[in-house]
């Protein structure tokens, strides 16, 4: 046999071995799956979400009925909040919000986007204990927490048509959720909190690079043509959320930003910003002037339950207001673990 023929012979043998080995591996995997010897979701993405997010949440598909009329009004309130209960709605008896924000500005995709505070299953999770009030509260009380903080005004009467309509919409969103309302993708995306204080200069650079295209150089957003709502909401100033809102906590805001911003470019499983960029830009935004909530000292009757990045006192510790606003947060977390055996993550 010539040297050339020997070369090709060996090459064919190697190819046959590789082919046979591949077939053997695939057959082994198939055997293991067929006999349930490995989990069937072994090769699925760990970030794969529940099919709940793929269900029908389009209110326009609902037939006309008295019940659906209330539900659809709840959707309208959710999407166009200031048009109905905002400061310029034309009826002074119906002013319950002090800015131009709508529920949809934080709960994206009408409350159905994962890691944007989705409201699918929210009804099943209430009544719920809330550290801010230090008691078990109802869904109506939770909605009014947003009215006082994110919407910067006062509570809706619990018996009002508007409250009933919003709750009706939330019940409809929650109709497919499990009994406990627990779904993957609730709340906001987790981040690795940098072990340092916020870098405001870096936060400003991130804002200029990624945020001004929607929110503007002055952070005041862009209004829709209806004159009531915002296509891109203001991030500070009189028409933004007040300092009592959860979004005015650096860690909370960074988690929201990481999973959702820049808008239409970011998804929870393909973030544009790094953890450090989200952290710094959140700190930059939250250092800007905004409305101040009345009587913030009444929040968190048990101060030990106060999140470490709550930007206003009093606290159950001796760390400065500046450190609670800008970090580093790990020393504060370590203090609560050592003194009170409380593990804090935000």
Residue in 218, 225, 262 with CA at minimum distance from that of residue 240: 218
Q: So what's the pLDDT on residue 48?
A: 75
Residue 11 pLDDT > 90:
no
Residue 7 pLDDT > 50:
no
* pLDDT tens-place string over residues 289-344: 999 999 999 999 999 999 999 999 999 999 999 999 999 999 999 999 999 999 99
- Give the mean pLDDT of the chain: 91
Q: So what's the pLDDT on residue 116?
A: 97
* Helices 161-173 + 66-79 axis angle, to 10: 90
Q: So what's the pLDDT on residue 343?
A: 97
Q: So what's the pLDDT on residue 40?
A: 45
- Average pLDDT, stretch 242-248? 97
Q: So what's the pLDDT on residue 49?
A: 84
């Amino acid at each position: 046999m010539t040297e050339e023929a020997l070369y090709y012979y060996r090459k064919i043998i190697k190819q046959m071995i590789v082919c046979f080995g591949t077939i053997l591996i695939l057959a082994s995997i198939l055997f293991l799956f067929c006999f349930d010897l490995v989990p069937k979701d072994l090769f699925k993405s760990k970030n794969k979400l529940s099919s709940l997010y793929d269900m029908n949440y389009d209110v326009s598909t609902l037939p006309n009925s008295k019940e659906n009329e209330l539900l659809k009004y709840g959707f309208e309130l959710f999407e166009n909040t200031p048009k109905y209960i905002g400061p310029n709605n034309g009826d002074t008896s119906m002013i319950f919000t002090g800015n131009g924000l709508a529920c949809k500005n934080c709960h994206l995709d009408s409350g159905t986007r994962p890691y944007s505070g989705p409201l699918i299953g929210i009804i099943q999770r209430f009544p719920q204990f809330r550290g801010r009030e230090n008691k078990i509260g109802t869904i109506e009380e939770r909605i009014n927490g947003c009215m006082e903080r994110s919407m910067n005004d006062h509570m809706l009467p619990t018996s009002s048509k508007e409250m009933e309509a919003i709750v009706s919409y939330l019940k409809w969103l929650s109709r497919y959720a499990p009994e406990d309302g627990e779904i993957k993708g609730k709340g906001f995306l987790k981040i690795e909190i940098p072990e340092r204080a916020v870098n405001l200069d870096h936060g400003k650079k991130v804002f200029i690079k990624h945020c001004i295209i929607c929110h503007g150089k002055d952070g005041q957003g862009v209004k829709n043509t209806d004159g009531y709502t915002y296509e891109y909401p203001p991030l500070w100033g009189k028409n933004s959320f007040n300092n009592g809102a959860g979004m005015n906590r650096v860690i909370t805001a960074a988690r929201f930003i990481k999973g959702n911003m820049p808008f239409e470019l970011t998804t929870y499983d393909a973030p544009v910003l790094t953890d450090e960029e989200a952290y710094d830009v959140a700190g930059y935004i939250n250092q800007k002037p905004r409305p101040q909530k009345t009587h913030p000292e009444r929040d968190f009757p048990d101060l030990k339950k106060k999140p470490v990045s709550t930007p206003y006192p009093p606290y159950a510790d001796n760390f400065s207001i500046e450190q609670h606003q800008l970090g580093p947060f790990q020393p504060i977390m370590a203090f609560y673990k050592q003194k009170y055996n409380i593990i804090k993550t935000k």
